[in-house]
Amino acid sequence: MIFLIYMKSIKQEIIDSIIEQTGLPEEYVCACLEKSARPEWGDYSLACFRLSKTLGKSPDTIAKEIASRIKSTDLIEKVQPVTGYVNIFLSSTKLVEIALKEGIQIPDYGNGKRIVIDYSSPNIAKPFSIGHLRSTVIGNALSKIYTELGYKCIGINFLGDWGVQFGHILDGIKREDDSVLTVDMTKPSDQQPLITFVNKKTGRDLNKYYVISTSANDPAGREWAREVFGMLESGDDRIRCFWEIARKKSIEEFDHIYELLGINFHTDDNRYGGESEITPADINNAVAEMDKKGLTRISDGALIVDLERYGMPTCLLRKSDGATLYAARDVAAAIARYNTYKFSKMLYVVGADQKLHFRQVFKVLELMGYSWAKDCVHIDFGLVRFKSDQGREKMSTRRGTTILLEDVLNEAIKRSQALMKERVPEMADKVSPSEASEVARAVGIGAVIFNDLKNKRIKDVDFNWEQILTFDGETGPYLQYTHTRLDSLIRKYDTAKGLSRPEPDYKLLTASEEISIIKEMIQFPDIVKQSADEYEPSILSNYLLNLAGLFNRYYQIHRIISDDENLSSTRICLVARLKEVLKKGMGFLGITPLEKM
RNA sequence: GCCCCCGUAGCUCAAUUGGAUAGAGCAACGGAUUUCUAAUCCGUAGGUUGUGUGUUCGACUCACACCGGGGGUGCCA
């Protein structure tokens, strides 16, 4: 297994060398060895300040002593003590060889362990707003990253398909066209006009009825919607039939958006679920179990779990009218999922406004005695707000400040098409119309996705058309552009006439720009691991931007394909390896890498 | 009121988890194309890291207080 030596990270190899040669404790070396902040300080630096007190010597002296004990190897070229740091310089030729010979490999950390990821989760009937983009793209990225690290990911799109919002659709229909619904809902024969009516509607139409109902802001309408939902909950077949159609229509609508985003929720490992999956019996069993374990109490007629001693407000399970609440349903859902999947981890990719809710749910699961409660993680992210002239506000359907995700995606595609015409007019001759539209999609959608993934999750975002449609600088199109550049070089090299193609000679890569690329490339596995450990796709995003930047600078200065056939072959090898990394990384983020744009 | 999160260049964000001289992009200005795709690249300018105190060899990072913004907080999800 030759590749095993490459599987061990460079850093680990250095740590091992240092421990072996200096006898320093492993914890210390691991904690104090870091990547050097500047090239003139080498590749890795060991800070010696912490040893100063215990050894009673100055950091400077310690650094000198340690440095003198580390011998050079084929990897460690030079060791230099500087003001309390031991700076370690690695052999460029060795690094080039490591990066180019086998390519960059990502070790298997997961060993097939299961991770359930609850993400996207829009509500049936409610508009699919830009706010849902975050959960969708973050969840998708984490799923791909963990899969690459050897985990088995199960994505669940936990639809909000069970609640009064469904009754509001009917109320909206009634308000708009009451001929369809003047009927007595209790008579099956009168249902047919409604069914025919709804069958002709799209998911977006149904959203419209929801909005009509809620924006009417009529107490009677709300009451009626509640009644309808009550009938659904009590298992009324006729309402159930309508519910099924409405759900199907909504999913068709969602599918269209997910298709644009390149996500498919009709597979075994990535599927639609929903609150409707959790039966009243599931919830009642969970609540009964809490009762039995003495966790619950009645307070003002409501069933609660008192979490005061854990520094949290009480968790409400059941309303005084007997109806169960969100928290009870999520506890029941978590138990059902554990029983089905026996996950090693479950991630809830849900906005930061639900932080308390998940803390409560996880705490209740823990109190119920489920040891896996500690493996449930709320992947929270900042809210999207709408910035108007009056200032910031939460998006509101009623105020008309909701921005539909589909509109944003279509706008991005349009913009990408326009730019293509403007900046690459000859593209029309080179590719077919269908290819061109795929390019426009990948670039436009990639821009929107990347825009969302490039910042730390927790940051709130002000929705801004200009920003989301920017294609210059640190953006998705920048990565795309770099990727097509790499691909174009490879294509050109492969098809060049009269060129001998010798084996790459790694010693030829000596330019500082190409060494920088190599050094950055070999960080890829660590970056992917770190993104997973911190549930933070932005770490990968920023890394890819930096990597692309290094290449674009290099490209500007150096000729890749030249008369020097040995050098060309070696540089193309670098280009090909780099392309593999960029392509993989973009794929993890949910961006489709292009060959031409 | 209480709890949680955020505050870094005009704007949007980084900063190897407490390390050496705080870095990018956008916007502005100046430059690079008979050239492997200029959706690129180079340069100039831009900072008392919200404020204050503390912890220590060292603080954007940790603690406390305050200021500003956001979110949550017993019958929505």
Alpha-carbon distance A578 to A483, whole Å? Answer: 9
Q: What percentage of chain A exceeds 70 in pLDDT?
A: 94
Alpha-carbon distance A157 to A120, whole Å? Answer: 6
Q: Strand, coil or helix: what is A578?
A: helix
**Cβ of A297 less than 7 A from strand B:** no
ipTM: 0.96
Alpha-carbon distance A21 to A9, whole Å? Answer: 19
Alpha-carbon distance A277 to A160, whole Å? Answer: 11
Residue A556: CB atoms within 10 Å? 8
Question: What mean pLDDT comes out for the span A134-152?
Answer: 98
Rounded to 5°, the CA angle A408-A412-A418 comes to: 145
Alpha-carbon distance A426 to A391, whole Å? Answer: 43
User: Residues 134-163, chain A: which have Cβ under 7 A from strand B?
Assistant: 160, 163
Alpha-carbon distance A344 to A341, whole Å? Answer: 9
* CA–CA distances in Å: residue A505 to residues A10, A121, A208, A435, A568: 22, 51, 64, 37, 10
Q: Residue A87: what are its φ and ψ, rounded to 5°?
A: -95, 130
Contact A382, A461 (CB under 8 A): yes
Residue A534: left if φ>0, alpha if ψ -120 to 50, beta else—which one?
alpha
- Give, in Å, how far the C1' of B39 lies from the CA of A157: 34
**Cβ of A549 less than 7 A from strand B:** yes
- pLDDT score of A393 more than 70: no
What pLDDT score was predicted for residue A396?
Answer: 61
Residue A41: CB atoms within 10 Å? 16
Contact A114, A337 (CB under 8 A): no
Of A314, A227, A324, A345, give the one whose Cα is nearest residue A282. A324
Of A122, A110, A125, A113, give the one whose Cα is nearest residue A164. A125
Alpha-carbon distance A67 to A46, whole Å? Answer: 10
Q: Write the DSSP assignment of A354-370 as a string of letters.
A: GHHHHHHHHHHHHHTT-
Contact A406, A256 (CB under 8 A): yes
**Cβ of A534 less than 7 A from strand B:** yes
- Split at pLDDT 50, 70, 90, the class of A176 is confident
**Cβ of A271 less than 7 A from strand B:** no
Per-residue pLDDT reduced to its tens digit, A397-424: 555 567 899 999 999 999 999 999 888 8
Residue nearest to nucleotide B75 (CA to C1'): A319
Alpha-carbon distance A99 to A85, whole Å? Answer: 27
Residues 6 or more apart whose Cβ sits within 8 Å of residue A358:
A348, A350, A376, A378, A380
pTM confidence score: 0.94
What pLDDT score was predicted for residue A307?
Answer: 96
Alpha-carbon distance A171 to A213, whole Å? Answer: 6
- Give, in Å, how far the C1' of B34 lies from the CA of A144: 46
Which range, of A16-20, A42-46, A286-290, A478-482, averages the lowest pLDDT? A16-20
- Give, in Å, how far the C1' of B22 lies from the CA of A38: 13
- Give, in Å, how far the C1' of B1 lies from the CA of A328: 28
Tokens 């493996």 label which residue?
A375
Q: Checking DSSP bridges between strand A345-349 and strand A315-318, what pairing results, if any?
A: unpaired
- Alpha helix ranges (H) inside A454-589: 465-468, 476-495, 512-521, 524-533, 537-557, 565-589
Alpha-carbon distance A123 to A250, whole Å? Answer: 9
- Give, in Å, how far the C1' of B1 lies from the CA of A313: 14
**Cβ of A314 less than 7 A from strand B:** yes
**Cβ of A481 less than 7 A from strand B:** yes
- Give, in Å, how far the C1' of B31 lies from the CA of A123: 53
Alpha-carbon distance A541 to A508, whole Å? Answer: 30
Residue nearest to nucleotide B22 (CA to C1'): A37
Q: Strand, coil or helix: what is A302?
A: strand
**Cβ of A419 less than 7 A from strand B:** yes
Alpha-carbon distance A20 to A71, whole Å? Answer: 10
User: Residues 107-126, chain A: which have Cβ under 7 A from strand B?
Assistant: 123
The pair of structure tokens assigned to A544 is 């890819």
**Cβ of A39 less than 7 A from strand B:** no
Residue A462: CB atoms within 10 Å? 11
| Per-chain mean pLDDT for chain A | 90
Of A496, A501, A492, A487, give the one whose Cα is nearest residue A564. A501
- Give, in Å, how far the C1' of B77 lies from the CA of A167: 15
Nucleotide nearest to A324 in CA–C1' terms: B75
Which of A25-29, A168-172, A557-561 reaches the highest mean pLDDT?
A: A557-561
- Split at pLDDT 50, 70, 90, the class of A379 is very high
Nucleotide nearest to A44 in CA–C1' terms: B16
Nucleotides of B under 7 A from a protein CB: 3-6, 12-17, 19-21, 24-27, 35-42, 57-58, 69-77
What pLDDT score was predicted for residue A107?
Answer: 93
Residue nearest to nucleotide B58 (CA to C1'): A49
How many CA atoms lie less than 13 Å away from A381 in the CB half-sphere?
30
Contact A154, A341 (CB under 8 A): yes
Nucleotide nearest to A556 in CA–C1' terms: B41
**Cβ of A354 less than 7 A from strand B:** yes
**Cβ of A461 less than 7 A from strand B:** yes
A200: amino acid identity, one letter: K
Which range, of A12-26, A92-106, A531-545, averages the lowest pLDDT? A12-26
Alpha-carbon distance A110 to A148, whole Å? Answer: 9
Q: Residue A305: what are its φ and ψ, rounded to 5°?
A: -115, 125
| A276 against A233, higher pLDDT | A276
Per-residue pLDDT reduced to its tens digit, A456-483: 999 999 898 999 999 999 999 999 999 9
